[in-house]
Structure 1
Amino acid sequence: MPDPVDASRLKEFEELRPLLFSIAYRMLGSVGEAEDAVQETWLRYQTSATRPVSPKAFLSSVVTRIAINELRSARARREQYVGEWFPEPLLEDPYQDPQRAAELAESVSMAALVLLERLTPVERAVFVLRDVFGFGFGEISPIVERSEAACRQVAVRARRHMEAGLPRFDADRRAREQLAERFFAAVVTGDVDGLRALLAADVQLASDSGGNAPSLPRTVVGADNVARVLSSARAGLSQIGLTVETRELNGQPGALVRDQAGRVLSVMVLDVLDARVQFIRTVINPHKLAHLGPVSDSWAVRAAYLRARAGRR
């Protein structure tokens, strides 16, 4: 028989679960892997022979170490990933801290998670714990098994990398949402001129299929090119019943694209700055969408679209 659950430990763990998931997700860029890391953390806490003085310190340490080990074991797999790599879309970050709202929002964006993917596991852990969640170096040192001085140096390197590559975003959330509404309305209607007016001159459109779904062969660059590609989606939307549901994803404006049966086909996430869309990331890899609900068969959707297009000729 399994050991009985310690009710007080379970209560402590559940109170800290949002923080643990948010740490793990930023470390791993995967909802499923983050949930697995949190579950493993609970199992270790439940079976720990001693009661830690600080449950927060203990649990944060455990989940971070699990994430570091997962990153190290997954490195070869991620290096062999087919095409662009984007994180699994996140509908809502469960951890909220008004004093660190800006750091939390910025760090969960797809742009930030793509940059974090390029750091070493230890650099990633130090940056996430220090710059995102405000842990002290004295707390971080035993987690990553480095001296406090070494952790400070790691933090400087990681911060420099992130600041150099992370794009700025419009701070006005409502303004971003309104622009996104106009953007997706133009996509649905195939309004090329309307789309072009909302796009930055050097806008980029990229997709993550992992080789498991039909996608763009390469990143599309430039307002004219991106507007034409997006406007061509109108035929698929109108002819085979695809719908666009605007949602916030990873703290940024975006949308879920669903098939006629309501299953998730893909997601789109927008980077917005200076009232223009700067980058459009689409995730169509079905393995990265399962946590959002039933997933569509993108190959079947593509075949249906091609049949509908051939029938129009």
Structure 2
Amino acid sequence: MSRGMEKTADFEELRPLLFSIAYRILGSVTEAEDAVQETWLRYEASPTPPASAKAFLSAVVTRISINVLRSARVRREEYVGPWFPEPLLADPYQDPERSAELADSVSMAALLLLERLTPLERAAFVLREVFGFGFPEIASAVNRSEAACRQLVVRARRHMSEGRRRFEADRREREELATRFFGALTEGHVDELRELLSADVQLVADSGGKAPQWARGFFGADEVSRVLGALLPPFVRIGGVVEPHQVNGQPGAIFRDPDGKVMNTWTLDILDGRIQTIRTVSNPDKLGHVGPVADAWAVLRDTQQARRDGN
């Protein structure tokens, strides 16, 4: 096998890991994919083979992601409304020995906590706590001493633990609750919806000012159940589809218009047998990787008309 073919084989084997590192640092599918592609170009151009392809490529994708994140932070400060990560339908990297850490670290709640960290803290935390890299490898990736990297991880752990709420680990129970929720949602069963929601539930949306926005969001079981019970049945009547799907390792759904185009994605945070937070991503710029994007304004108009006709 030629050296070029060996490089390609090594890179393709490690591509899932590289994407997963980049996504957790950036919170963006498209930016993570770009970071991985740039990593390949640098690897392809490197004149001498590294001692470890995994160490080399992980370091390169981490450095690229840190630089991208620094510039992205400025854009996020000017973002219209709440900012959420781009929805991830499936994590390409799997490691049975770290499955719990991997699933937890990709949730919307965890990624939003990671936003509290500096780019260096975030990178060090992801490499150490999620993927189990040693401090010599982390030091090489972020161009800091091992002692400095240990401090980065300590600070990151403290920030993460201060804001973390532990979500239920029993996947089957979460899936059963999500199935009941989406069933009641499409049928407009307000009382059943209310029973599945925590008293202080939040329904919040990321539209980026480019899709219908739910003002400041909706809060409390009564308000959230009433709003959902009013809007979802007419959406289904016009041919809209609620497609249950894992999103960011959590129970969620993809909402599609009558033509099958993507309206938005939902994720459910579940604690103590109740839904605590519903996060929706409707910014079309964040949905292109999920599929063709719908005209959300047109669907909203049709839904509102169907609601008026139903009344």
* Alignment of 1:284 onto 2:276: no
Offset at residue 251 of structure 1 (A): 0.6
Letter in 1 for 2:242: V
Q: Distance in 2 between matches of 1:183 and 1:53?
A: 51
Offset at residue 300 of structure 1 (A): 1.2
Offset at residue 171 of structure 1 (A): 1.0
Of 8, 11, 21, the residue aligned with 2:9 is: 11
Letter in 2 for 1:254: G
Letter in 1 for 2:85: P
Letter in 2 for 1:50: T
Of 245, 250, 253, the residue aligned with 1:252 is: 250
Offset at residue 266 of structure 1 (A): 0.8
* Alignment of 1:43 onto 2:48: no
The question of whether the paired residues in 1 share the 8 Å contact of 2:186 and 2:233 is answered with no
| 1:5–1:266 distance in 2 versus 1, CA, 3 Å | farther
SS in 1 for 2:12: helix
Identity across the alignment (%) = 65
The question of whether the paired residues in 2 share the 8 Å contact of 1:85 and 1:208 is answered with yes
Partner of 1:271: 269
Partner of 1:107: 105
Name the Cα RMSD after superposition. Answer: 1.4
Offset at residue 17 of structure 1 (A): 0.4
Q: Distance in 2 between matches of 1:275 and 1:178?
A: 10
| 1:5–1:43 distance in 2 versus 1, CA, 3 Å | farther
SS in 2 for 1:291: coil
Q: Distance in 2 between matches of 1:36 and 1:238?
A: 36
Give CA-to-partner distance per residue, 1:115-152, whole Å, 9 cap, x none: 11221110110000000001111111121121111111
Partner of 1:209: 207
SS in 1 for 2:265: strand
Offset at residue 294 of structure 1 (A): 0.8
Letter in 2 for 1:250: N
Offset at residue 166 of structure 1 (A): 1.9
* Alignment of 1:297 onto 2:299: no
Give CA-to-partner distance per residue, 1:207-258, whole Å, 9 cap, x none: 0000000021013221111111111123432332111010111110000111
Offset at residue 306 of structure 1 (A): 3.1
| Stretches of structure 2 lacking an aligned partner (at least 5 in a row) | none
Partner of 2:194: 196
- The correspondence of residues 22-41 of structure 1 with structure 2, limited to 5 A, is 22-41=20-39
Letter in 2 for 1:272: I
Q: Distance in 1 between matches of 2:191 and 2:4?
A: 62
Offset at residue 309 of structure 1 (A): 3.7
Partner of 1:242: 240
The question of whether the paired residues in 2 share the 8 Å contact of 1:249 and 1:255 is answered with yes
Partner of 1:178: 176
Q: Distance in 2 between matches of 1:38 and 1:199?
A: 39
Q: Distance in 1 between matches of 2:112 and 2:238?
A: 33
Letter in 2 for 1:142: S
Give CA-to-partner distance per residue, 1:11-68, whole Å, 9 cap, x none: 0000000000000000111111111100110010011011100000000000000000
Offset at residue 312 of structure 1 (A): 4.9
Give CA-to-partner distance per residue, 1:287-311, whole Å, 9 cap, x none: 1111011110101112222333444
Partner of 2:90: 92
SS in 1 for 2:179: helix
Offset at residue 92 of structure 1 (A): 0.6
The question of whether the paired residues in 1 share the 8 Å contact of 2:205 and 2:282 is answered with yes
Instruction: Give me the TM-score of the superposition, normalised by structure 1.
Output: 0.96
Partner of 1:132: 130
Q: Distance in 1 between matches of 2:222 and 2:310?
A: 26
Which range moved further: 157-166 or 231-240?
Answer: 231-240
Q: Distance in 2 between matches of 1:45 and 1:143?
A: 15
Q: Distance in 2 between matches of 1:213 and 1:245?
A: 20
How many aligned residue pairs are there?
310
The question of whether the paired residues in 2 share the 8 Å contact of 1:187 and 1:233 is answered with no
Partner of 1:307: 305
Q: Distance in 2 between matches of 1:306 and 1:229?
A: 13
Q: Distance in 1 between matches of 2:160 and 2:116?
A: 10
The question of whether the paired residues in 1 share the 8 Å contact of 2:113 and 2:160 is answered with yes
